[in-house]
Structure 1
Amino acid sequence: MDWIHSLGLFVGSLIANTLASLSGGGAGLLQFPLLIFLGLPFSTALATHKVASVALGLGAAFTHIKQKSIPPTIALYLILVGSLGVIIGANLVLMIPENIAEKALGGMILAIGIYSRVKKQLGQEEIQANRTVTGWTIGGIIFVLIGIINGSLTAGSGLLVTLFLVRWFGFSYKQAVALTMICVGLFWNGIGGIAMIQAGAPIHWPWLGTLLLASLLGGALGAFLTTRLSNQFIKLCFELLTAAVGIKLLV
């Protein structure tokens, strides 16, 4: 690429990852289509995006850990149960009818955005719920399923995790976004990227440095804003991004 395309790739990726870090997911809304627009085949763009997204989680994790906004035991729980689904999803990616899967995911994401908009007080304060053996077990099954989505599709799984943490376990949006960024952004995407490489998906290495830098900076910037903005504003960002991701996947 010439410097103009490289700058466009950096700026587009920076915006995508800042929004994702602020809202709890959705980096693939801009970054993945951008890679295809610049000429990468679908499988190469997906694998390259997955690997680059690890830096998003790393940048966000640094800020959230510094602020002590991530409960270690819950983070470990999310990493373990979700990683199982990610590995399954990464190996299923070539077997799933892409068009049908993306439209189904788009409809679901659009629906959760509307649900969050209707529930005005959702995620404004922490209200402990379903934090029993049964609750954690059911939650674990759901996270495995979301992990499969994460491993096999381009965008949206982080948004599903964020809302499920808010709705099922009663976390505030700030807490849910912080957990999503370190668990999904760093570990799920990292494991998914490795699994995809082992499954034979190619990485476009010449662009990876630019993507990693933009993802790292975007993750840190979004996490910084999360610690300083209200739950109401973060909720609004989440709802706008879910609408955009849902419509993009459907259309």
Structure 2
Amino acid sequence: MLFQLALFAIALLANTFSALAGGGAGLIQFPALIFLGLPFPVALATHKIASVALGLGATLRHGRDNRLTLGFAAFMLVFGVPGVLLGSRLAVVMPQRAGEIGLGLLTLGLGFYSLISPGLGQQFQPRHRGRAGMLVGGLGLFLIGVVNGGLASGTGLFVTLLLVRWFGFDYQRAVAYTLVMVGLFWNAVGALALGWMTEVQWHWLPALLAGSLLGGYLGAHLAIDRGNRLVKRAYEVVTIAVGVSLLVF
């Protein structure tokens, strides 16, 4: 019982911050699963399945605010899901440490870029909605999907900044799309693919799912209630922390 409570607390903390910042649940949850004794691929598959509950919890809260449009959500699925499937296939053969170092450097760059751009993501100013702009953005989503399928930490943060910087979303709206489309749908696809190719620690999942679901709802509520400025600050803290953790650990 104490072990299950510890798993619940880990998932609650990780997913509350992730839902507030638009990604980064793997900063706490995924390394904790490895520390508790799971091999990398088993920890990755277990984490992916638990992260689906993060997307569900956030969807329950963001769905009440009608921030998402069906067309753009479908666009994120069409370009992102094939990347997730490819990344999941590569996850069992790729050199993980090299990928983590590269991802850590890029994630640090995201955090510092947002930090030195005070007006970034504070207003909703749609852009790049023509055919060429959507194609470039879709390619970006596909590449992030590949990383999402193969690694556990921080890829939702890339989607959040892509939506803010390229498509002109404010942070609140970008986080809503990231949590619903990446947290729920991309992670569900990745979880199914990894679960098919490797083992899952099934008896840890009830506590992880419960913590992820509640954390996703709480983080989404804070993001909506406190506004873009808090979300931006949370994004910067989480991206820098994720980047450092990937490089150091």
What's the TM-score once normalised by structure 2's chain length? 0.98
Q: Equivalent residue for 2:243?
A: 246
1:169 to 167, 170, 178: 167
Shift of the alpha carbon at 1:246?
0.2
State the distance in 2 between where 1:201 and 1:22 align. Answer: 31
Q: Equivalent residue for 2:198?
A: 201
2:116 aligned partner, one-letter code: V
Secondary structure of 2:200's aligned partner = coil
1:22 and 2:32 are equivalent in the alignment: no
1:36 to 34, 37, 52: 34
State the distance in 1 between where 2:65 and 2:124 align. Answer: 17
State the distance in 2 between where 1:4 and 1:36 align. Answer: 18
Q: Equivalent residue for 2:150?
A: 152
- State the Cα RMSD in Å: 0.8
How many correspondences in the alignment? 248
State the distance in 1 between where 2:215 and 2:100 align. Answer: 25
User: What are the ranges of 5 or more consecutive residues in structure 1 without an aligned counterpart?
Assistant: none
State the distance in 2 between where 1:59 and 1:245 align. Answer: 22
Q: Equivalent residue for 1:53?
A: 51
Q: Equivalent residue for 2:121?
A: 123
Shift of the alpha carbon at 1:145?
0.3
State the distance in 1 between where 2:25 and 2:81 align. Answer: 19
Q: 1:2-151 alignment to 2 at 5 Å?
A: 3-151=1-149
Q: Equivalent residue for 2:212?
A: 215
1:190 to 180, 188, 196: 188
Q: Equivalent residue for 1:231?
A: 228
State the distance in 1 between where 2:27 and 2:151 align. Answer: 11
Secondary structure of 1:202's aligned partner = coil
* Cα deviation digits, residues 124-144 of structure 1 (max 9, x gap): 001111111100001111100
* Cα deviation digits, residues 105-142 of structure 1 (max 9, x gap): 00000001000000100000011111111000011111
1:155 aligned partner, one-letter code: S
Shift of the alpha carbon at 1:179?
0.2
State the distance in 2 between where 1:5 and 1:173 align. Answer: 36
Q: Do 2:84 and 2:149's aligned partners in 1 also have CA atoms closer than 8 Å?
A: yes
State the distance in 2 between where 1:227 and 1:191 align. Answer: 27
Q: Percent identity between the aligned chains?
A: 48
What's the TM-score once normalised by structure 1's chain length? 0.97
State the distance in 1 between where 2:43 and 2:148 align. Answer: 15
Secondary structure of 1:39's aligned partner = coil
Shift of the alpha carbon at 1:70?
1.4
State the distance in 2 between where 1:141 and 1:205 align. Answer: 34
Secondary structure of 1:228's aligned partner = helix
Runs of 4+ in 1 over 6 A off after TM superposition: none
Shift of the alpha carbon at 1:230?
1.7
Shift of the alpha carbon at 1:4?
2.0
2:188 aligned partner, one-letter code: G
Secondary structure of 2:226's aligned partner = coil
Worse-matched range after superposition: 238-247 or 66-75: 66-75
Shift of the alpha carbon at 1:42?
1.1
State the distance in 2 between where 1:73 and 1:210 align. Answer: 34
Worse-matched range after superposition: 93-102 or 20-29: 93-102
